[in-house]
Chains A and B, each alone.
Chain A
Amino acid sequence: MNGLKKFGSKIRIPALSISVALLVGALFIIFTDIEVLGGLLSDPIGALSLGVGRAATAYSALFRGAFGDPENIGKALASNGDIKLWARALRPIVESVVASVPLIFVGLGVSVAFRTGIFNIGGAGQYTMGAVGGTIAALVFGAGVTPAPIAILLVMIFGVIGGAAWAFIPGYLKARVGASEVITTIMLNFIAGQFVFFLVSNFEFIQKPPRNQPVSKELSQFVDLPGILPIAALRLDISIIIALLTAVAVSWFLFRSTRGFELRAAGLNLAAAKYAGIGAGTSIITAMLISGAISGLGGALVAVGTIKQLSPGIGGSVGFTAIAVALVGGTRPSGVVATALVFGLLQHGGSLMQVETSIPIEMLLFIQALVIAFIAAPELTLGILKNPFRRRPRSVGK
């Protein structure tokens, strides 16, 4: 009972924030619709009901895009095991999970840094460099050069090295000369993207023939990550398993190991950590190495397994969305995984919403931004929905 209560109090703010954000998003959909605005004066009730209808359609598409169409699911259930029908019914939810995989990795990565008090916003760059490492490993060791499991392992190792190396630079600079990690990591994000551009446009070994586009060769010819679902048409591979295992490992590291203890102490109160004999410099570099390694691992697995190609834009919006995931998830591994799944659902659901209605996918970015704003200001969220979760004064014995 106590555990349930604790769980409830932990997800209260995120759950409220997401609901309120969706609500505000709906209002936004209603009041940015030209027809609704046009009719507002002459026929307010008609216009509003039109708007509510539009919002409902949009959210219905969002829901079906995220979880799957109930109709398709019904058909699949009735079909007695028709693979095609099942694939169609399950594709949305599977794709949502696929979309969440990079967010889990980078969300976990930046969480380790955040816990240590380092605002590593270089998740995108570290992820990108991990993708570079993974791609190179796939090109060198894949396609039968080494046995498939070894090649996959090497892809992961190279990804870890790529991400960790990229994160070491800002970590070292902060520990040594106090350079602000915010600035150095942002800059390194750009450099990572440009570095990929350089690689995929200058090396025959990497660039896709006939070498007229800045992208790498198709990586599926070199390394193929095994799928985990019995339906081949659904592309969910072992990267989700590795992501979940990483979350467990991070949780274990942070809360069970002495190193994790040092990092958390340094993150919460650097002065007290120094007092306790914990070296600030070592903590910073360790945290950045781990942070980058996790993001890099994600980059390698997603580039090789999901996208199956390296391109300069691979870091894309992952880095920034992952920061949101980490913060919304309270930099707690379980919270990060849960939030990444929610964001994955929104992201994939949003693409169907864009197809079916004229509402652009940017609306989802808006909703995501609202989620973050509400989480950053819990008092505001609680204020909007007053009472049911009223805080009680806390008193602890004197």
Chain B
Amino acid sequence: MRLELQKITKQFPGVLANDRISISVDKGQVLGLLGENGAGKTTLMNILSGLYKPDSGKILIDGKERIFRDPAQAIDAGIGMVHQHFMLVPVFDVTESVVLGNEPTKGPLGSFDRATARAQVAELSKRHGLHVDPDAKIESLPVGVRQRVEILKALYRKSDILVLDEPSAVLTPQETEELFEIIRGLARGGTSVIFITHKLNEVIAVADKITVLRRGAVAGETIPKKATAAKLAEMMVGREVQLTVSRSKSKVAEPILQVKGLNVLNDAGGLAVNSATFDVRSGEILAVAGVQGNGQTELVEALTGLRLVDSGTVVLEKKPLHAGSPREIAMAGVAHIPEDRNRDGMVKGMTIAENYILNTYHLPQFNKNGLLNRKAIAAATEQAVKDFDIRTPSISTDIASLSGGNQQKVIVAREFSRNVRLVIAAQPTRGLDVGSIEYIHRRIVEQRDAGAAVLIVSTELDEVLALGDRVAVMYEGRIVGILDAKEATRERVGLLMGGITK
């Protein structure tokens, strides 16, 4: 089927989310839809799947206009969505998950016809080359396989147009490669695919056609043969960007952070970090790679005082750290760029100045006998806004109204405002535009060059490889390998991310 969206416009209070966006995908074609967070990709897909109604514009399928009042109508029209966060019931098996909602029935009472369902699922998975055991329980499956189940679900509902929203976010590089094979196979079989991502290399690898969105409008269209990562980035951002981090060799000195046999529990009481042992030395960046949810979050929380350490030792410059509170650890010279900046890193509803002093307000320079020294706070914040090129109308603007990149700059400025011995940066560039990524990477490298030890945790392999002087890989709570930058190839790190240590 050929799908065409014509001049779709959607206005939300205060934001023009989609501004006359036109895209199209032919039968058997893979359309890569590229854009940064906030470029309008998700809104557009929600319109396509019947969740939102466009203010104006048309949806055409095989040349005929269709209007979707709810998601059910979009599904009937053959549009299948695979969301970034899977919608699966953990205790169901694959067959049940795939047919849920459209179960084949038998008998007068319409009871569930398991045998037919199983046969249908097996046939479907064979036909499309999606290898899944129809009897496996969802909770026992790795993320990559769960994604296949989601795709099967869409195909089972006879989707001719498959929409994949950021499908590689949770996959290892090898799993991503397998996903691309599946997508190519589906396209050969006549399914149209819309592949949404912000990763430049992925669209070049898998798409037949690329549409780039910027600030709610189409910024350009191209085909992979003519595109380069640099060109696409430029289209996405609107200006030229530098994709690689330029940095000198590190001058490594004494260890600053020493972690030995660290065990940390997750909220459910399970072992999230399993006897982690590593050092981070002055003047080097240790980048921790791993698929999301392999204990990285708990590791960082334990190191920064937000989570209790179960056992093991953490030493910062020869002083034990693990019993400290977040404040003591920050004052000991640790800068922490948190993984989830909306949750931990800033207080929306407070101004930029207030966020800038969020964890230093109690220091003598800002605190005079229990009162905030507003002059000193304003002066320090003004300086930070200048130094870090934070784009804001004023320092008394609510931080919530800044773009993600500028919010992150406020956080980075705050964390680097103290005397820094150790930087702990978790997903420091998640959801940021290419320009801000470049900037934040540069700032982190500057800290390294100034002699700080840097620990970066990232699920973006590109980021890990670009920044790490050494690369550690976490898998199921263990550090399964620490490689020097020279040995850390995409393949080796990718295998370790999947838990394969040979």
Please list the residues of chain A having a beta carbon within 8 angstroms of any beta carbon in chain B: 256-259, 261-262, 264-265, 268-269, 271-277, 379, 391-394, 396-398
Contact = CB atoms under 8 A, between A and B. Distances in A.
A269 B343 contact: yes
A259 B372 CA distance: 9
A271 B344 CA distance: 5
B502 to A, nearest CB: 39
B349 A268 contact: yes
Contacts of A265: 347, 350, 354, 358
Contacts of B306: 274-275
B370 A259 contact: yes
Contacts of B350: 264-265, 268
A258 B391 contact: no
Contacts, number: 92
A276 B372 contact: no
Contact of B359 (A257, A259, A264, A276): A276
A393 B10 CA distance: 13
A379 B433 CA distance: 31
B336 A258 contact: no
Contact of B370 (A257, A273, A275): A257
B344 A272 contact: yes
B35 interface: no
Nearest to A382: B13
A393 B401 CA distance: 12
B347 A269 contact: yes
A261 B354 contact: yes
Contacts of A379: 13
Nearest first, the 4 closest Cβ-Cβ pairs linking A and B are A277-B327, A397-B391, A276-B359, A275-B344
A257 B343 contact: no
Given A272-B358, A274-B326, A398-B406, 12 more contacts: A256-B372, A261-B361, A265-B358, A269-B343, A272-B346, A275-B345, A275-B359, A277-B326, A393-B14, A396-B406, A398-B391, A398-B433
B247 interface: no
B413 to A, nearest CB: 15
Contacts of B328: 277
B14 A391 contact: yes
A397 B393 CA distance: 8
Given A277-B327, A277-B359, A258 B370 contact: yes
B310 to A, nearest CB: 19
Contacts of B498: none
A257 B354 CA distance: 12
A258 B359 CA distance: 11
A275 B371 CA distance: 21
Contacts of B336: 275
Nearest to A277: B327
Interface in B434-476: 435
A259 B393 CA distance: 28
B348 A269 contact: yes
Interface of B: 13-16, 304, 306, 325-328, 330, 336, 338, 343-350, 354, 358-359, 361-362, 367, 370-372, 374, 391-393, 397, 401-403, 405-406, 433, 435
B392 A258 contact: no
Contacts of A262: 361
Nearest to B15: A393
5 contacts: A265-B347, A268-B349, A274-B344, A394-B401, A398-B406
A392 B402 CA distance: 17
A264 B361 CA distance: 13
Nearest to B343: A271
B401 A396 contact: yes
A391 B16 CA distance: 13
B397 A396 contact: yes
A104 B367 CA distance: 30
A269 B342 CA distance: 9
A398 B405 contact: yes
A262 B374 CA distance: 15
Contact of B371 (A258, A264, A391, A396): A258
Nearest to A396: B401
A230 to B, nearest CB: 38
A391 B13 contact: yes
Contacts of B372: 256-258, 261
Contact of B392 (A269, A276, A394, A397): A397
A257 B16 contact: no
A275 B403 contact: no
Contacts of B392: 396-397
Contacts of A272: 343-347, 358
Contacts of B359: 275-277
Contact of B16 (A269, A274, A393): A393
Contacts of B391: 396-398
Nearest to A252: B371
A349 B282 CA distance: 73
A393 B370 CA distance: 39
Contacts of B402: 396
Contacts of A261: 354, 361, 372
A394 B348 contact: no
Given A275-B359, A393-B14, A398 B370 contact: no
Nearest to B327: A277
Contacts of A274: 306, 326, 344
